[in-house]
Structure formats: C-alpha cells, structure tokens
C-alpha cells in the first residue's frame, strides 16, 4: 500500500503518493487583541500536522498629530489600511512604525483618500509587500518610506498623472509597474500646465516606455526617470534644466534631443544609457555635471562655448567616443573626464586650459593632440598623473600669424623632442585704425597725425600742412592745383588726399563744391571772399 508521502517501493505496479488526508482545522492557540492565534490540522494517515495563524485585526494611531490618521492590519488577508485626514507620522531608522513587529503579515498597503503624507521609514523592512495603493490626496512621501520593500512590484495611484508628477516622491529602488487611475502606465502624455517632473517620479518604473512633455515643463527632477524602461521622450523648448541622474540607467533610451533652452545638465544625467548614440549639447548649456554622459554610446560631442570645466568622469567609459571639440571657455579638464574612452585618438585642446587632472585621459589611445597655442604655453599646463596617453601623443602646437611674421603649426614628439613645422601662413599685415591729430597745425607750423595697429599696437605718424586756408594739396600755396585736388577728392578720386583743415574754407565741417567755389573766387580776386 502507498503511504502518505512516498510511493510504494516495489519495482512493479508503482503507484503515486496518496497525499495527506487532513482533518478539520482546530484552534490550538486562541487569538487575542494583542496576539495572533493558531489553528492545527492532522493527517489521518501519517499524523503529520500543519498550523496556520488565526485572523486577527490589529489597529492604532499613526498620525503626525495623534489619531488624525489610524491604521489597521488584517492578518488573514495581509492588508494594511491607513485612513484619516492629514499627515502620518515620520519615523527614524531606529524608531519603528507601530506595525513594524507585524511586518511579516503585511502583503499589501492601502492608503485611503484624505491622507496627505506618508511618513519617512513608514514601511521599512516590510519585505513581503507586493503592492500599494496611494490616493491623489498624498502630496509628499517621506525619505526611505519603502526602504527594503524588496517584493514591491505594483503601485496603484488613484489620482491624476498631473498630481503624480507634482508629488514629492520617496526613492523606489525596486522595479515596479505603475497604475494611474486604474490604467497601466506605458505611455505618459503629461498634461499641459505641469511645470516640472518631480524627483524620483518614475524611478524604476518598468511599465513606462514613452513620455511626451508639454511646453509648460521647465525642469526634470533628480532621478525622475532613473532605471525606467524609457525608450523615447520628447523634451519641450521650454525646458531649462535636466536634474541629476534624471535618465540614469535608462538602458533602452536610444536618442534624445536636448532643446536650445537648456542651460543645466546635472550630474549623471544620462549615466549608463548604453544605447544613446546621439545627444547633441545645445549652445546655451553652461554647466555639465560630473558623469553626465558616463558609459553612454555617444560617438562625437561638441562642448558649447560657456562651459568652463569638463567635470570629473563626464565621459568616462564612453568607448565609442571618437571626436571631441572643446571651446575656448574651458579652463579645466577634470579627473577621469575621458577615462577609458578607447576610441578617442585625437583631441584639440584650447589655449584657455590651465589644468588637466589625474586620469583625465587614462585608457584613451590618443595619437594626436592639437593645442591652439605654442609649445611654451603647453609647458605651463598643470597635467596630473596617469595621463600617459596625452603625454605620449604627437603634440601639434600653433603660432598665429603676426603683422610682420608668418604663423605655423609645430609638431613635437613628446618622446624624443623632435620638432618640425608645417601649415605655414603668411604675415597678416598691420591693421591700422583711422588717422588722429596728435599735434594741430598752425598758420606758422605743420602739425602731426598718428594711427595705431589694432593687432600689434605699433604706430605710424605723418606731418600735416601748416594751417593755410585753401592750400588743399599742402604745397604751401593757394593756386588752381588746390582747386583741382579738392574737385577730384569730392568726385571720389581714390588717389587724392587733401587736408581737411585747409580745404574746408567755409568752416561748415564738410568738403563740398561750396569750398571749391570759394577758392576759385578767392583766386579771381573776389573782394568779399574770406577763407577760414
């Protein structure tokens, strides 16, 4: 005959285990107001016993102001209900919530409408919670409210998507599906009027794939989409700030267009977005936080003018990064900024850079470094340790063309010091400003004019004719040659230069035919002509 738990061992005509033949449940320990009771049942065949807890209802106050909020736990169903009006109490790590000792019974949590705050550490170590229901009345969730809730997989929010975005969220570090107003949230179209996506709003939200933001949104909060399944998002032109770790670990995010309005990209904003290959940084950005694009798949990047520092680890582990353009505004390249960027073989470093920190280019395979100033300026840069890739690359320095000397690019081997020049450019020539009077002419002495080169600062001087009204050509006499010179000057003669002080004989500040007529009348003996 088969027994209860083991098949007959005879090698033929095998039969399966019969299974226990339990009798009725009987109370062995009655439940009280403070303790859970037990029931037992016995197998009629083998005497094996099973026990189970007897349903008991525990309750109490958990409000920030006493009994304004209460709780109750049904140990049979495992549902904890929080009900009332206003805030629940905040708890510290060692100051447990009143249901803490019953946490092994808690399978689900329902917060009723009217509660406005879920306290810090409220459900810490409630490791068997599978789902929680949060009403639209809740506006804040305290720090670590769901700390170590390892089995929490479903969050039900009975309010609107707008309310969810505006809530102050706690960090959820476990993958979960989000239901808003009864529907699984896979594509979120954020309603117009929402101005920001709150910190941690969709953190670890595995159900979320696509998001569309309205023009009213100006900022995305810290860890807003952290480790979600986000594959596509449309950022509006109104946005100015992307928070720290906003898209961190969004491993399915392939492409993002950052609008021109954005000025701030937070630390680790796109950390470990391995599929992200295209993320153009707009010209208006003035700050890029540490690790912002660490471990992404981007291949080229242009840092906008206005960014002063490449922060530590900004492009760390960007193994596909092959091209980088740094603006003249950058003064410092931070620690491990391009660490293990193994595809990076060439980089142009502007003259403005004064400090390159430790490991900035560790693991990069730089072959060519183009520096926009000369070798002497390069030697003044403070370069930290573990930057052999930078130091052993071929250094290309530049000397800009001067007014009287040509420019060139110098190629320097950092190992042996050999230098050769190429890419020569001709002398630029002087770029003089306008002539300015430095010594005014008088009736008895000549004056002087000076002009200055805007490039090198050198100056030129020339004499000006003594003040003889009508002597347009400066030969010391007034004759028909002056009439001819002034006429040609007024007509646009490119090779004619007349002294304004002598040629403006009517004193109106202009050179015109009126001055020509006056000089002609003067030469003809006009008794009423006065040359000023």
Helix axes 513-523, 480-490, angle to 10 degrees: 170
Q: Pull the structure tokens for residue 236.
A: 């509006």
- Residues 69, 90 contacting (CB under 8 angstroms): no
Out of 442, 467, 492, a domain closes at: 467
Q: Are 457 and 499 part of one and the same domain?
A: no
Please indicate, yes or no, if residue 503 is contained in any of the structural domains.
Answer: yes
- Residues 86, 118 contacting (CB under 8 angstroms): no
Out of 417, 440, 467, a domain closes at: 467
Please indicate, yes or no, if residue 492 is contained in any of the structural domains.
Answer: yes
Q: Reduced to 3 states, what is the DSSP secondary structure of residue 428?
A: coil
| Average pLDDT along the chain | 86
Percent of the chain with pLDDT over 90: 50
pLDDT above 90: residue 509: no
- Residues 293, 270 contacting (CB under 8 angstroms): yes
Q: What is the model's pLDDT at position 343?
A: 93
Q: Taking CA 328 as the corner, what is the angle to CA 322 and CA 329, rounded to the nearest 5 degrees? A: 105
Please indicate, yes or no, if residue 506 is contained in any of the structural domains.
Answer: yes
Q: Are 463 and 479 part of one and the same domain?
A: no
pLDDT above 90: residue 247: yes
Q: Are 447 and 499 part of one and the same domain?
A: no
The most confident of the ranges 298-312, 469-483, 489-503 is 298-312
Q: What is the model's pLDDT at position 414?
A: 44
Cross-strand partners of 66: 63
The better pLDDT of the pair 375, 236 is held by 236
Average pLDDT over every residue of 34-57: 81
Q: Are 459 and 502 part of one and the same domain?
A: no
Average pLDDT over every residue of 444-448: 75
Q: Which of 246-255, 294-303, 490-499 has the lowest mean pLDDT?
A: 490-499
Q: Pull the structure tokens for residue 111.
A: 């917060």
Please indicate, yes or no, if residue 178 is contained in any of the structural domains.
Answer: no
With bands split at pLDDT 50, 70 and 90, how would you rate the model's confidence at 255? confident
Q: What is the pLDDT of residues 98-121, one digit of tens each?
A: 999 889 889 999 999 999 999 999
Closest CA to 344 of 380, 377, 383, 301: 301
Q: Are 497 and 446 part of one and the same domain?
A: no
Q: Reduced to 3 states, what is the DSSP secondary structure of residue 475?
A: coil
With bands split at pLDDT 50, 70 and 90, how would you rate the model's confidence at 416? very low
With bands split at pLDDT 50, 70 and 90, how would you rate the model's confidence at 151? very high
Q: How many distinct helices (H) and strands (E) make up the chain?
A: 6, 36
Q: Are 444 and 499 part of one and the same domain?
A: no
Q: Are 488 and 505 part of one and the same domain?
A: yes
CATH code for the domain in which residue 529 is found: 1.10.1330.10
Q: What is the model's pLDDT at position 8?
A: 56
Cross-strand partners of 188: 211
Average pLDDT over every residue of 202-219: 94
Please give the torsion angle defined by the CA atoms of residues 358, 361, 366 and 372, in that order, rounded to the nearest 10 degrees. Answer: -70
Q: Are strands 447-452 and 459-464 parallel, antiparallel or unpaired?
A: antiparallel
Please indicate, yes or no, if residue 44 is contained in any of the structural domains.
Answer: yes
Q: Pull the structure tokens for residue 427.
A: 């002398």
Please indicate, yes or no, if residue 324 is contained in any of the structural domains.
Answer: no
Q: Are 501 and 446 part of one and the same domain?
A: no
- Show the domain range for 26: 20-54
With bands split at pLDDT 50, 70 and 90, how would you rate the model's confidence at 141? very high
Q: Are 441 and 486 part of one and the same domain?
A: no
Q: What is the model's pLDDT at position 246?
A: 96
Q: Are 447 and 505 part of one and the same domain?
A: no
Q: What is the model's pLDDT at position 418?
A: 45
Q: What is the pLDDT of residues 476-492, one digit of tens each?
A: 788 988 888 888 888 88
- Residues 174, 145 contacting (CB under 8 angstroms): no
417 phi-psi bin (left φ>0, alpha ψ -120 to 50, beta other): left
With bands split at pLDDT 50, 70 and 90, how would you rate the model's confidence at 332? very high
Average pLDDT over every residue of 525-529: 74
Q: Reduced to 3 states, what is the DSSP secondary structure of residue 204?
A: coil
Percent of the chain with pLDDT over 70: 89
Q: What is the model's pLDDT at position 360?
A: 95
Please indicate, yes or no, if residue 101 is contained in any of the structural domains.
Answer: no
Q: What is the model's pLDDT at position 191?
A: 93
Q: What is the model's pLDDT at position 508?
A: 85
Q: What is the model's pLDDT at position 264?
A: 97
Total count of domains within the chain: 3
pLDDT above 90: residue 158: yes
Closest CA to 117 of 135, 99, 133, 131: 135
Q: Are 447 and 484 part of one and the same domain?
A: no
- Which residues neighbour 365 within 8 Å (Cβ) at sequence distance 6 or greater? 342, 343, 344, 345, 389
Closest CA to 83 of 105, 104, 58, 62: 62
C-alpha 423 chain-centroid distance = 37
pLDDT above 70: residue 456: no
Phi, psi of 123 (to 5 degrees): -120, 30
pLDDT above 90: residue 216: yes
Q: What is the pLDDT of residues 363-410, one digit of tens each?
A: 999 988 888 888 889 999 999 999 998 988 888 887 655 565 555 554
Q: Reduced to 3 states, what is the DSSP secondary structure of residue 371?
A: strand
Q: What is the 3-state secondary structure (H, E, C) of 278-335?
A: ECCCCCCCCEECCCCCCCCCCCEEECCCCCCEECCCCCCCCCCCCEEECCCCCCEECC
The residue assigned the tokens 């529907």 is: 183
pLDDT above 80: residue 415: no
Q: Reduced to 3 states, what is the DSSP secondary structure of residue 364?
A: coil
Please indicate, yes or no, if residue 45 is contained in any of the structural domains.
Answer: yes
Max Cα-Cα span within the chain: 155
């Amino acid at each position: 005959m088969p027994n209860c738990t083991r098949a007959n061992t005879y090698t033929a005509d095998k039969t399966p285990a019969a299974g226990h033949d339990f009798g009725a449940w009987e109370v062995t320990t009655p439940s009280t107001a403070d303790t859970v009771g037990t029931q037992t049942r016995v197998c009629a065949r083998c005497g094996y016993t099973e026990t189970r807890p007897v349903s008991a209802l525990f309750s109490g106050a958990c409000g920030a102001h006493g009994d304004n909020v209460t709780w109750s736990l049904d140990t049979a169903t495992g549902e904890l209900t929080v009900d009332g009006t206003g805030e629940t109490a905040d708890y510290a790590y060692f100051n447990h919530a009143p249901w803490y000792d019953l946490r092994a019974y808690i399978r689900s949590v329902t917060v009723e409408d009217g509660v406005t705050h879920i306290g810090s550490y409220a459900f810490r170590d409630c490791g068997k919670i599978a789902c929680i229901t949060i009403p639209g009345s809740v506006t804040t969730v305290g720090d670590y409210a769901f700390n170590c809730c390892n089995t929490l997989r479903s969050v039900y929010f009975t309010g609107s998507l707008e309310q969810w975005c505006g809530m102050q969220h706690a960090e959820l570090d476990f993958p979960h599906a989000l239901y808003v107003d009864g529907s699984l949230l896979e594509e979120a179209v954020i309603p117009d009027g929402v101005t920001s996506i709150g910190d941690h709003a969709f953190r670890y939200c595995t159900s979320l794939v696509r998001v569309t933001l309205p023009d009213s949104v100006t900022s995305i909060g810290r860890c807003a989409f952290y480790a979600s399944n986000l594959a596509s998002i449309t950022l509006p032109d109104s946005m100015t700030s992307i928070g720290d770790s906003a898209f961190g670990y969004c491993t399915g995010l392939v492409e993002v267009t950052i609008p021109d309005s954005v000025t701030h990209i937070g630390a680790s904003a796109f950390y470990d977005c391995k599929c992200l290959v295209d993320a153009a940084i707009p010209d208006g950005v003035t700050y890029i936080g540490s690790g912002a694009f660490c471990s992404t798949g981007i291949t080229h990047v242009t840092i906008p003018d206005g960014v002063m520092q490449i922060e530590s680890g900004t492009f760390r582990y960007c193994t596909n990064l092959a091209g980088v353009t740094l603006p003249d505004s950058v003064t410092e390249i931070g620690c491990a900024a391009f660490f293990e960027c193994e595809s990076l073989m060439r980089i142009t470093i502007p003259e403005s850079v004064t400090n390159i920190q430790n490991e900035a280019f560790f693991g990069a395979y730089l072959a060519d470094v183009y520096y926009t100033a000369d070798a002497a300026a390069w030697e003044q840069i403070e370069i930290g340790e573990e930057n052999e890739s930078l130091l052993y690359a071929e250094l290309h320095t530049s000397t800009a063309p001067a007014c009287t000397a040509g420019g060139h690019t110098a190629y320097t081997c950092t190992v042996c010091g050999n230098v050769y020049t190429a890419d020569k450019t001709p002398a630029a020539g002087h770029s003089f400003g306008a002539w300015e009077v430095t010594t005014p002419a008088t009736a008895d002495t000549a004056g002087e004019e000076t002009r200055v080169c805007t490039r090198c600062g050198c100056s030129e001087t020339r004499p000006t004719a003594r003040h003889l009204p009508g002597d347009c050509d400066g030969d010391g006499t007034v004759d028909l040659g002056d009439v001819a010179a002034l006429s040609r000057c007024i007509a646009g003669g490119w090779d004619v230069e007349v002294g304004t002080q002598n040629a403006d004989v009517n004193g109106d500040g202009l050179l015109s035919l009126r001055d020509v007529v006056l000089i002609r009348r003067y030469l003809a003996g006009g008794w009423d002509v006065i040359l000023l």
